Amino acid sequence: METLIIIIFVLGYLAIALEHNLKLDKLIPALAMMAILWALVAFGIEAYPNWFDSGAHELINGEGGFLGLESEEKHHLLDETLLHHLGKTAEILFFLLGAMTIVEIIDYFDGFATFKNYIKTRKKKKLLWIFACLAFVLSAIIDNLTATIVLISILQKIIKERDTRLWFAGLIIIAANAGGAFSPIGDVTTTMLWIGGKVSALMLVKYLFIPSLICMVVPVTIASFMKPFKGEIDIVDEKDSQKSKSKYGSTMLYIGLGAIIFVPFFKTITHLPPYVGMMLSLAVVGLFAELYSRSEFSISNVVDLDGDDSEGHHSPVHASLSKIEMPSVLFFFGILMAVAALESLGILFIGAESLKEIIPNTDVVVMLLGVGSAIVDNVPLVAASMGMFQESIDNPLWHFVAFSAGTGGSMLIIGSAAGVVAMGMEKINFMWYLKKIAWLAAVGFIAGSLAFIGMRAIL
């Protein structure tokens, strides 16, 4: 039965990796794989030799262990384990939902247009550094996916030459993934490690800020001397220019970003899970959004704010929630719960021991994880690593995993969420990215990895 479970997982994994070739949304195989795996776990519960007790954090094995338990005890343990993993997965999903909603509320007020107003130069080299630095900083605050969407949207309003925009977009992907790697809220994988109790926010920043910065600076420095970034750009002529949708745009931007940054501090002070702080932040941002929305839209129309007048008052919270990418949220749910099924049977621990025997050097294993994240989705890779390795919180291994999984995906356009969204927004060709940008991303990844290994020896 364990062999069948591994086969189902591998097939589901392949379907996720080949979603563009199969023209099948990765959400479908992720959910199907999760349900089938847990069904097989339930059907074969009597015969499995190993079981990982999530509550006790220990592997139960052998005749005197899991095999020796009564059938009723095994099913009770199955229920407890499933509930445990559901709770841990829900923590990540609600955290992401809160963050995504805050970002959508900022966008509702066109708050990100504030960044565009600061960009005055026409020199390509200077613009490259501005966008790279913005991507690096923004991705650490609002996550690399959202930062990429925001910056490419601004890029499209500034640069009219598509070929030039493609080069900028490629470097934005590298910078955004580098910035997301050192922040507990900058990438889904770092968020998983943070919420999963593998890293703390402060130590993650301490260990990864410099390697991540090097991972961004090295390729951007090289690119700044290349032909595509020489000369000046032709500014897009915006006749309708100008004003953002709302006079509260910049205010909502600062409130929203401040609310997201507040979450790690809330966790440190209260020791509550991060999603609790994110829900508080969402409530505060939502309150200001509703107040500003009423003052902006309702005064121009004679309406009763207590009545039901859909034209007089538009709820920014409701509008933002309707734009949340639920397929992405459900994909995370499916893949995390699928990996949890393998963890529960002890398969990941056995796999980890085998891998350590084949490749004793852990650094090599983690760097291969980074290369692998460029080929397949980094979420299941990190989820698997969380079950494979048993090191304590803030062990350098977890920081290296966060860096490798976060930045390694830049080496292919389909290797990260930031790359996939940029691919869709600018219709970037896979082979074009492979020829022009991949080597820059690889150089940055190697430089950042060496910086991490060097810092680890010092700290």
Q: pLDDT (tens digit, 9 = 90+) per residue, 180-207?
A: 999 988 888 888 898 888 999 899 999 9
Residue 416 φ/ψ region, left for φ over 0, alpha for ψ in the -120 to 50 degree band, beta for the rest: beta
Strand partners, 235: 159
Q: Residue 233 gets which letter from DSSP?
A: P
Residue 261: which pLDDT band, with cuts at 50, 70 and 90? confident
Quick check: pTM over 0.75?
A: no
Confidence check: pLDDT of 346 > 60 = yes
Rounded CA-CA distance 135/138 in Å is 5
The pLDDT, as a whole number, for residue 296 is: 54
Share of the chain residues as helix, strand and coil, in percent rounded to the nearest 5 = 70, 5, 25
The interaxial angle of helices 438-458 and 162-181, nearest 10 deg, is 20
* 92 touches 276 (CB < 8 A): no
Mean pLDDT for the chain overall: 82
Residue 376 φ/ψ region, left for φ over 0, alpha for ψ in the -120 to 50 degree band, beta for the rest: beta
User: Over the Cα atoms of the chain, what is R_g?
Assistant: 23
Strand partners, 58: 53
- Which tokens in the block code for residue 382? 């990190």
Confidence check: pLDDT of 457 > 70 = yes
Average confidence (pLDDT) over 432-452? 93
Rounded CA-CA distance 419/176 in Å is 10
Helix (H) or strand (E) segment spanning residue 68? none
Q: Of the candidates 374, 372, 375, which has an alpha carbon nearest to the alpha carbon of residue 385?
A: 372
Residue-range domain boundaries for the chain: 93-321
Q: Find the angle CA(433)-CA(437)-CA(442) to the nearest 5 degrees.
A: 120
The pLDDT tens digits of the residues spanning 139-180 come to 898 788 778 888 887 887 788 888 888 999 999 999 999 999
Confidence check: pLDDT of 236 > 70 = no
Exposed/middle/buried for 420, CB within 10 Å: 0-12, 13-18, 19+? buried
Residue 305: which pLDDT band, with cuts at 50, 70 and 90? very low
Residue 55: which pLDDT band, with cuts at 50, 70 and 90? low
Mention every residue, 6+ apart, whose C-beta is less than 8 A from residue 300. none
The pLDDT, as a whole number, for residue 404 is: 92
Indicate the range of 325-329, 406-410, 454-458 predicted with least confidence.
325-329
Helix (H, G, I), strand (E, B) or coil at 319: helix
Helix H segments across 345-437? 347-358, 362-375, 378-388, 396-408, 417-426, 430-436
Residue 244: which pLDDT band, with cuts at 50, 70 and 90? very low
Number of alpha helices (DSSP H) and beta strands (DSSP E) in the chain: 21, 2
Residue 62: which pLDDT band, with cuts at 50, 70 and 90? low
Measured in whole angstroms, how far is the alpha carbon of residue 234 from the centre of its chain?
Answer: 34
The pLDDT, as a whole number, for residue 301 is: 45
The pLDDT, as a whole number, for residue 385 is: 79
Q: Pick 63 or 248 by higher pLDDT.
A: 248
Mention every residue, 6+ apart, whose C-beta is less than 8 A from residue 153. 112, 425
Helix H segments across 1-70? 2-17, 19-22, 27-43
The interaxial angle of helices 162-181 and 417-426, nearest 10 deg, is 160
Q: Of the candidates 133, 185, 210, 136, which has an alpha carbon nearest to the alpha carbon of residue 449?
A: 210
- Which tokens in the block code for residue 271? 């020791």
What amino acid occupies position 195? I
Largest CA distance in the chain: 77
